[in-house]
Amino acid sequence: QKEVEQNSGPLSVPEGAIASLNCTYSDRGSQSFFWYRQYSGKSPELIMSIYSNGDKEDGRFTAQLNKASQYVSLLIRDSQPSDSATYLCAVNGPDSWGKLQFGAGTQVVVTP
Amino acid sequence: DVKVTQSSRYLVKRTGEKVFLECVQDMDHENMFWYRQDPGLGLRLIYFSYDVKMKEKGDIPEGYSVSREKKERFSLILESASTNQTSMYLCASKGIGTTDTQYFGPGTRLTVL
């Protein structure tokens, strides 16, 4: 079993709709959770981080964390074609060096 | 603004060549990482370093070595490049705190012929 799991997609979303991405993780001791966006041929860039249960909003992005159920999600409101990318979920690993465990990523395609 | 830079954006080498990929960060981060990314396989950790001259193997260290002589610089070495090492190589750096953000460099697309 992979430590961080995401649906690979592609997730097709009409422009203006909400994109909902999910991520589950296996290590109950995980403390920090990150969402990265990666455009084709580019490197990942951080868009959200969340550390405590509940919701965290930043512009059109909302991250949701439920440690009891071991999942973290990302909502993208009013999806735009520029949101078309692969979204990587990353979880602070169990060791003390702060090594992140990455999911394989979910590809999002926003259609006009 | 955090900056992680990599020595080359694109690189073409021949089988058997020794290849050096360099990474420099300007945020005084303790941790530095080398990943490779291939379609369908996601990010795979090759090596990481948590201090100068300290290194730990990641998930796929075979065929690679690393060097960290200065805090800001982390080098990935392919001792004898092979075609199966054709990939996108990503360097990253991060502070030691559990909530610290990990920043990526722009990547080096390496082709081994």
pLDDT confidence of residue A110: 97
Identify the CA nearest to B67 among candidates B59, B78, B83.
B78
Residues of chain A with pLDDT under 70: 1-2, 94-97
CA separation, residue B42 to residues A2, A62, A101 (Å): 12, 24, 11
**Which residues 42-81 in chain B show a CB within 8 A of chain A?**
42-43, 45, 48, 50, 56
Identify the CA nearest to A103 among candidates A28, A23, A46.
A23
pLDDT confidence of residue A97: 65
Residues of A within 8 A of B107 (CB-CB) are 42-43
pLDDT confidence of residue A72: 97
Between chain A and chain B, the number of residue pairs with CB atoms below 8 A apart is 55
Residues of A within 8 A of B41 (CB-CB) are 104
Note the pLDDT tens digit of each residue in B52-93.
989 999 999 999 999 999 999 999 999 999 999 999 999 999
Q: What is the dihedral of CA B80, B75, B102, A18, to 10 degrees?
A: -40
Is B39 within 8 Å of chain A by CB? Answer: no
Interface test with B, best of A23, A39, A43 (most B CBs within 10 A): A43
Strands (DSSP E) found in A1-112 = 4-6, 11-14, 19-25, 33-38, 45-50, 54-58, 61-66, 71-76, 85-92, 100-102, 106-111
Whether the Cβ atoms of residue B24 and residue B9 lie closer than 8 Å to each other:
no
Determine the residue of chain A that is closest to B50 in CA distance. Answer: A97
Is A97 within 8 Å of chain B by CB? Answer: yes
Note the pLDDT tens digit of each residue in B26-43.
999 999 999 999 988 889
- Structure tokens that stand for A85 in this block: 């990318």
Instruction: Kindly determine whether residue A49 and residue B102, on different chains, have CB atoms separated by under 8 Å.
Output: no
Q: How far is A93 from chain B (nearest CA, A)?
A: 9
Is B8 within 8 Å of chain A by CB? Answer: no
Q: Maximum distance among all alpha carbons in chain A?
A: 44
Per-residue pLDDT band at B94 (split at 50, 70, 90): very high
In a 13 Å sphere around the CA of B97, the CA atoms on its Cβ side amount to 4
**Which residues 47-86 in chain A show a CB within 8 A of chain B?**
49, 51
pLDDT confidence of residue A96: 55
pLDDT confidence of residue B41: 85
